């Protein structure tokens, strides 16, 4: 089982290794590939352009040549995964798709937290496109000031801001909180009033289940 992860933040490598370990997958089954320039280009352009998307697709297709499954962990670049998946011989998934599916599969209100503005549009489209429970609702909430801390290297402050926003949502009666960006996942360990859903845990779990099922079917 070989899962290749395309990241745009170095800190996500440790996040995914830790999550894999929690799910019973040894970290050596993951390979990590870092392209922060793609997220920076999208931020400078105000969103995902056709050129940046194609660059992302090219990287994903290259990773697919030596992996059993590829995970794109950046929500801003997320739409590139569907394009690459149509061209690759192995699954190419955006890690937050499993997050959206799990969040919207039950009745109740989900608040989706995001820290960087370029995440909003692709994540909102994703949540709108997945199958919904008839009584599922969603709202998106920007965690103001958090991304500036992340970019300044203050990861602890970043996660504390996200955790505080999640706790406010739980206290206001929201049924579920979903953390839109993989970099936010550490905040789930800091909350006091509920446990948010995170894309690394949701996405990796589904990927592992898929590959194990395929191994079983192939004998």
**What are the pLDDT digits (tens) for 57-88?**
999 999 999 999 999 999 999 999 999 999 99
Identify the pLDDT of residue 218. 78
The pLDDT tens digits for 8-29 are 999 999 999 999 999 998 878 9
Identify the pLDDT of residue 63. 97
Record the tokens describing residue 138, joined without a space. 């969603």
Identify the pLDDT of residue 112. 97
Considering the domain delimited by 3-95+201-218, tell me its CATH architecture: 3-Layer(aba) Sandwich (3.40)
Half-sphere exposure of 198 (CA within 13 A, CB side): 23
Identify the pLDDT of residue 97. 94
Give pTM, 2 decimals: 0.91
Identify the pLDDT of residue 146. 96
Domain boundaries, given as residue ranges, for the chain: 3-95+201-218, 97-198
Identify the pLDDT of residue 95. 95
> Following DSSP, what letter does each residue of 114-166 receive, concatenated?
ESSGGGHHHHHHHHHHS---TTEEEEEEE-TTHHHHHHTT-HHHHHHHHHHHH
Low-confidence ranges of the chain (pLDDT < 50): none
Task: Say which CATH topology domain 97-198 has.
Answer: Rossmann fold (3.40.50)
Do 3-95+201-218 and 97-198 fold alike per CATH? yes
Identify the pLDDT of residue 214. 80
* 118: β partners: none
């Amino acid at each position: 089982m070989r899962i290749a992860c395309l990241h745009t933040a170095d800190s996500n490598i440790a996040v995914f290794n830790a999550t894999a370990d929690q799910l019973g997958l040894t970290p050596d089954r993951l390979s990590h590939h870092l392209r922060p320039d793609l997220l920076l280009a999208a931020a400078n352009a105000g969103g995902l352009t056709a050129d940046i998307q194609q660059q992302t697709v090219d990287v994903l297709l290259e990773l697919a040549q030596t992996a059993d499954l590829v995970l794109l962990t950046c929500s801003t670049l997320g739409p590139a995964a569907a394009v690459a998946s149509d061209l690759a011989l192995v699954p190419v998934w955006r890690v937050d798709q499993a997050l959206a599916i799990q969040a919207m599969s039950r009745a109740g209100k989900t608040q989706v937290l995001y820290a960087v503005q370029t995440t909003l549009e692709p994540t909102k489209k994703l949540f709108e496109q997945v199958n919904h429970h008839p009584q599922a609702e969603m709202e998106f909430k920007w965690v103001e000031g958090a991304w500036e801390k992340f970019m300044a290297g203050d990861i602890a402050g970043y996660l504390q801001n996200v955790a505080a926003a999640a706790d406010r949502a739980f206290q206001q009666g929201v049924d579920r909180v979903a953390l839109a960006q993989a970099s936010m996942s550490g905040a789930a360990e800091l909350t006091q009033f509920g446990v948010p859903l995170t894309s690394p845990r949701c996405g990796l779990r589904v990927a592992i289940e898929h590959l194990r099922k395929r191994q079983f079917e192939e004998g």
